Amino acid sequence: MAEPFLSIQHVRKSYGSNTVVQDFSLDVEPGEFVSFLGPSGCGKTTVLRMVAGFEDPSAGKIVVAGKDITRLKPNQRNVGMVFQAYALFPNLTVAQNIAFGLKVAGMNKADADKRVAEMLDMIKLPQMADRYPYQLSGGQQQRIALARAIAPKPKLLLLDEPLSALDAKVRVSLREEIRSIQKKLGITTIFVTHDQEEALSISDRIAVMYGGKAEQVATPFEIYNRPATKFVANFVGTLNVLEGKVTDAAAGTVQVNTQEVSLKGKLNGSKSGDTLSLALRPEAISLDRQPGHDTSLSGEIAEVHFLGSVIRVRVGIGGNTVSLDTFNNSATPPPVVGEKADISFSSGDMLVLH
């Protein structure tokens, strides 16, 4: 395996007795796009700020391209960063903002002008060179901030919730633009977000963080389909959690309410009598028996929400409630609350949460 481009090794950050990041480690390959995903206060921004040099780690080491940068100042790291609040310099024009890092690095005016023009073309805003930040929309300001961060050709690009302040439509288009620019330049990128859709859609890998630790680091597909912990399963996507009791560990049977479910080969380490949390994604469940569905549970329709193309149905199964979506069909009326219903799914889609 090639040497990682960015290596965060056993990093910890405490403020007095409050530890906000505990023993965080991550290796990022050259050109990789890794997202830190987690709720507010999980430590994702603190890790990013330690990589940028704005916070000193209480312990641990940060290595970029084989060089230990843990104690270097931010202006010595050759790292680019885009901030949530854009952080464009209000007194400078767009072109001057993009040229700022180039001037600081001592680039001559002709080369700097050429690079600024390249950057403006890259973000498709060549006509904005002479505007001031206050004359631009939020999306345009953030694209300029991206161009400014990339202009000095940094080794590493850090994006600190760059899309949070934008409206939904701009957010989607800009995240696609960020990903396409990142792929084109092949720049190693760390992206901090609390929006799971953003992280799932543009990342090579995601580090899901909680309580100052990485709960799971994996590809978006793995994070969604094979969450390693209960937190990851709950945080990423919608999840139905059913409480069950192991009736026969050897045979892999679990009792949910009064009904039996077979989970052969998934009960590693569990003993008969243990209580388990079982998880199912809504899209893995249907109200009628589908090909490949080997398990069914009986319950009662508890809620029906008509959302246009989709009907969201909640089915009560003993003390558990399962949510599932069905497509609207004009020939079939939606289920009625209080009706008996059988849900079916493939036991292979059921996750055992530890």
As measured in angstroms, the least distance from the Cβ of 62 to another protein is 15
CA distances from 95 to 86, 182, 275 (A): 15, 21, 62
Instruction: Select the span of 9-17, 78-86, 305-313, 318-326 touching another protein (CB under 8 A).
Output: 78-86
Q: Return the H-helix or E-strand segment holding 245.
A: strand 240-248
Instruction: Determine if 81 is a binding residue for another protein (CB under 8 A).
Output: yes
DSSP per-residue string spanning 51-120? HHTSS--SEEEEEETTEE-TTS-GGGS-EEEE-TT----TTS-HHHHHHHHHHHTT--HHHHHHHHHHHH
Instruction: Determine if 149 is a binding residue for another protein (CB under 8 A).
Output: yes
Choice between 70 and 323, CB closer to another protein? 70
What type of residue sits at position 150?
I
Instruction: Select the span of 84-92, 254-262, 265-273, 322-330 touching another protein (CB under 8 A).
Output: 84-92
Do the Cβ atoms of 264 and 277 come closer than 8 Å? no
As measured in angstroms, the least distance from the Cβ of 139 to another protein is 13
Instruction: Determine if 74 is a binding residue for another protein (CB under 8 A).
Output: yes
Instruction: Determine if 104 is a binding residue for another protein (CB under 8 A).
Output: yes
Of 18, 91, 268, 330, which one interacts with another protein (CB under 8 A)? 91
Of 13, 77, 143, 175, which one interacts with another protein (CB under 8 A)? 77
Choice between 51 and 350, CB closer to another protein? 51
Burial environment of residue 249 by CB neighbours within 10 A (0 to 12, 13 to 18, 19 or more): middle
Name beta bridge partners: 275: 245
Instruction: Determine if 105 is a binding residue for another protein (CB under 8 A).
Output: yes
Q: Is 6 left (phi over 0), alpha (psi -120 to 50) or beta?
A: beta
Do the Cβ atoms of 140 and 173 come closer than 8 Å? no
As measured in angstroms, the least distance from the Cβ of 58 to another protein is 19
* Positions that interact with another protein (CB under 8 A): 52-54, 73-75, 77-81, 83, 85, 87-91, 100-101, 104-105, 132-134, 141, 148-149, 152
